[in-house]
């Protein structure tokens, strides 16, 4: 782990035991959308500056590790620069990174308005049992939807 990985995460969320799952999911959705918005602007800046972003379009393409959150207990969402520094991402960070890239491509390469790009690429929070059974049903997983197709960027990432 590099020194950059020790920087506090952009959005850190600890789930209160008594919190309603739908409220937690809504909060996570806002956190992922916020990070995706920030990442969109970062990617647009890089594209306008002529930087090749093709190898950092999503965490899986970049060869990063999926570092899951603590199911049902806590979550964090980091911006693209932090994901790149750590070469690892939670599902929320991975979704926000990939969403930022997809939106930037729609805006920069395809001439879409920001409003249209943001409407075409949206975050989604899935809720249920953690794959390892550790969360007592309080498992939240961030993915995104692009033009109606659900995409889980963690599926292409290396296992931790």
Percent residues over pLDDT 70 in the chain: 78
Which of 81, 99, 78, 98 shows the shortest CA–CA distance to 89? 78
Average pLDDT over residues 2-26: 62
The model's pTM is 0.87
Determine which of 24-38, 48-62, 64-78, 128-142 has the lowest per-residue pLDDT on average.
128-142
């Amino acid at each position: 782990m590099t020194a950059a990985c020790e920087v506090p995460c952009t959005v850190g969320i600890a789930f209160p035991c008594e919190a309603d799952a739908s409220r937690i999911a809504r909060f996570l959705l806002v956190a992922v959308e916020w990070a995706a918005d920030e990442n969109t602007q970062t990617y647009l800046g890089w594209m306008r500056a002529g930087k090749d972003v093709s190898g950092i379009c999503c965490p899986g393409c970049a060869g990063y590790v999926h570092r899951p959150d603590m199911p049902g207990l806590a979550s964090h969402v980091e911006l693209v620069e932090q994901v790149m520094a750590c070469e690892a991402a939670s599902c929320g960070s991975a979704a926000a990174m990939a969403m930022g890239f997809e939106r930037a491509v729609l805006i920069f390469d395809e001439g879409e308005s920001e409003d249209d790009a943001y409407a075409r690429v949206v975050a989604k929070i899935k809720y249920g049992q953690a794959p390892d059974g550790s969360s007592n049903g309080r498992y939240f997983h961030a993915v995104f939807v692009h033009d109606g197709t659900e995409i889980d960027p963690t599926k292409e990432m290396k296992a931790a």
